[in-house]
Structure 1
Amino acid sequence: MFDDQPKEIELYDEDAFNKWRKALPQMARRKLDTRLTRLEAGNPGPPETGWKTLGEGVYELKIHEGVGYRVYFAFSGKHIILLLCGGAKPAQDADIVRAKKLWAEWQKRGQPE
């Protein structure tokens, strides 16, 4: 899963993610971009401050800014990180359910490893 090897980020729904990202406050967007750059480089940061596993192959990346944003992702093969959806801390429970559903759908479609 996590290693220091570079990864390629692939978006589950690029339009939805970009719309969500654009609506973020500027500082949150900057922190998100920094975290995604680090994640892409294979450096998610320590779990206690930056990410956690949610089960079923889904992970949560924390953006500590404002209301506390979250980005959910999974690994597809060794080199692709699949971003599932983003949300704010108050919507976390519903977002986790959605992320797991999207990941299950992705796997059923037989996406290339």
Structure 2
Amino acid sequence: MEIISSSLFDAWLGELKDKHAQRRILYAIARCEAHGRMIGDIKPVGEKVSEMRFHFGPGYRVYYTRLGAITVFLLAGGDKSSQDKDIRTAQKLAQQVREEQS
């Protein structure tokens, strides 16, 4: 499985002040890639977008969509406090990515 990320996701992750949390999120993503599937606390949020939930810090979230059978596209990140806004942003970005793919 290939995991790619949007510039929005990369910016969010790069700007995290909690570097320990940043490393834990990167480790979780690397584990998913190594196992060939998304693992952990995963929940669909609609419009072909799912969130990977992290139970540390302020409740970090990583939003992603699948592109084909083997590619996962990391759309955005956030935490519990911005969840609704982050989901809407991720859904819009997922739609744009799918339109570009077709």
When normalised by structure 1's length, the TM-score is: 0.79
1:32 aligns with 2:53: no
Contact 1:9 1:83 in 2 (8 A): yes
Identity of matched residues, % = 36
Instruction: Please give the per-residue CA displacement for 1:18-38, whole angstroms capped at 9, x wherever unaligned.
Output: 332122202211210111012
Structure 1: gaps (5+ residues): 1-6
Q: 1:64 aligns with which of 46, 55, 70?
A: 55
Aligned to 2:98: 107
Runs of 4 or more consecutive aligned structure 1 residues displaced over 2 Å after TM superposition: 16-19, 41-46
- Give, in angstroms, the shift of residue 11 of structure 1: 1.2
Structure 2: gaps (5+ residues): none
Aligned pairs for 1:16-95 (under 5 A) are: 16-24=8-16, 25-41=18-34, 42-46=36-40, 50-95=41-86
Write the letter of the residue equivalent to 2:43: K
Distance 1:105 1:77 in 2: 15
Distance 2:93 2:57 in 1: 26
Distance 1:35 1:44 in 2: 9
- Give, in angstroms, the shift of residue 57 of structure 1: 1.0
Aligned length: 100
When normalised by structure 2's length, the TM-score is: 0.87
Aligned to 2:2: 8
